[in-house]
Structure 1
């Protein structure tokens, strides 16, 4: 795309391909009241002197306070703190009541149980189009050793669970399936007995194998999302990985899309498929998705709220 024809939504989706951590940036206003907001546009800048930056939209309700503050803190959320991210991304009346926190050395709120936090003095506020860049010099920090919460393509992921898929993929023959969505509907194959689109792999990145298969199967543009299930079928001695994936608008070459409300009562090729599809229908109604880890009969769903940062 040439610069004068760039679609902002398409550009935002392309930026979303880059996985980031999730932070909450905090400070105090002129009355001493703590304020904070969720941000994933954070990066380290320099070790000597120690510096970092955060990008802030001009439309942010915190714009005036943040661009005039002398100090701020960046809390890198741990993979157990998706609820904290969602709280500070929404217009909640008292966000700080929902999290355990204390004052940093310079008085900025720093959270308990985060992967790390940094307290900074404001070095500069730089103009950057529809955002500004908050450049901070680090004056104090803490590193807990916890894994950080990840975010990409509009949803959260946790490194620990993602690692299970990589481990499974390295163990040999792998069955890879997709809960393939288009505008909230899910693609199923078959007529009377339905199945999820599934392919097999013995090597390579499972997401690349799955993306190529889905593109050929449907003829649509495909984006692979995050894990939905990782389980071992003990009877077949085979590892299974299921991803959420997203298709462009259009009629697929094979299969058809079903709305979540129409999935009840359908017949599926395996009990595992039925469990996956029924869970997807339930989670779609709640807007709160999870990752199943276990085997074909016993396991646990790790809740991952997919609402945007």
Structure 2
């Protein structure tokens, strides 16, 4: 019997968010080069202390920047955030170019970009460990915010869709 984890997991709806971090450099606000990626691997780990985890592919330039900065922001996307999710799921060069046109502002605790959506958090690296072909990073949640309730954007059947879609 062949294992087909990818096909099985396509049957499981997950929320969609954007994770952002930065690297020192002259390219952006505050002398930083910002980058952001679309994720669906955000998991709450603990409420006391407040911890969340992300799983990021080994070898990604985004992961390298996150490990150097030791800071990241998470923006939970609403149903109308599908365009943002698609733009930030592309190559690094495309993502960095897209950041100039997306509504975002640096968070007060980490300087990472926070995007429009129903909720956000800013995190600091607490731990990391290898899990298969990914690195799981655990972050201490430094700050959170909730905006008006909105329908969430979800990843289901291999695509991004509003939660209310048939």
| Residue among 125, 131, 152 paired with 1:128 | 131
- Alpha-carbon distance in 1 for matches of 2:66, 2:6: 24
- Alpha-carbon distance in 2 for matches of 1:59, 1:18: 26
1:1-309 maps to which residues of 2 (within 5 A)? 1=1, 5-6=2-3, 10-31=4-25, 32-91=32-91, 92=94, 93-105=96-108, 106-112=110-116, 114-144=117-147, 145-159=149-163, 161-162=164-165, 227=166
Q: Which residue of 2 aligns with 1:304?
A: none
Question: Does the Cα contact within 8 Å between 1:84 and 1:98 map onto a contact in 2?
Answer: no
Tell me by how many angstroms 1:134 deviates.
Answer: 1.1
- Alpha-carbon distance in 2 for matches of 1:53, 1:11: 21
- Alpha-carbon distance in 2 for matches of 1:56, 1:151: 17
Tell me by how many angstroms 1:152 deviates.
Answer: 1.0
Moved over 4 A (4+): none
Tell me by how many angstroms 1:14 deviates.
Answer: 1.0
Question: Does the Cα contact within 8 Å between 2:23 and 2:69 map onto a contact in 1?
Answer: yes
Cα deviation per residue 1:29-62 (whole Å; 9 max; x = unaligned)? 1221111111111111111001111110114331
* 3-state secondary structure, aligned to 1:99: coil
Say what the alpha-carbon RMSD is for the aligned residues.
1.5
Q: Which residue of 2 aligns with 1:237?
A: none
- Alpha-carbon distance in 1 for matches of 2:52, 2:145: 14
Question: Does the Cα contact within 8 Å between 1:67 and 1:125 map onto a contact in 2?
Answer: no
TM-score (norm 2): 0.87
- Alpha-carbon distance in 1 for matches of 2:107, 2:16: 19
Aligned residues: 155
* 3-state secondary structure, aligned to 1:54: strand
Tell me by how many angstroms 1:111 deviates.
Answer: 1.0
**Residue segments in structure 2 that go unaligned for 5+ positions in a row:** 26-31
- Alpha-carbon distance in 1 for matches of 2:68, 2:130: 14
Question: Does the Cα contact within 8 Å between 1:44 and 1:52 map onto a contact in 2?
Answer: yes
Question: Does the Cα contact within 8 Å between 1:26 and 1:34 map onto a contact in 2?
Answer: yes
- Alpha-carbon distance in 2 for matches of 1:156, 1:89: 11
Cα deviation per residue 1:243-301 (whole Å; 9 max; x = unaligned)? xxxxxxxxxxxxxxxxxxxxxxxxxxxxxxxxxxxxxxxxxxxxxxxxxxxxxxxxxxx
Tell me by how many angstroms 1:21 deviates.
Answer: 0.6
TM-score (norm 1): 0.48
Tell me by how many angstroms 1:156 deviates.
Answer: 2.2
Question: Does the Cα contact within 8 Å between 1:76 and 1:117 map onto a contact in 2?
Answer: yes
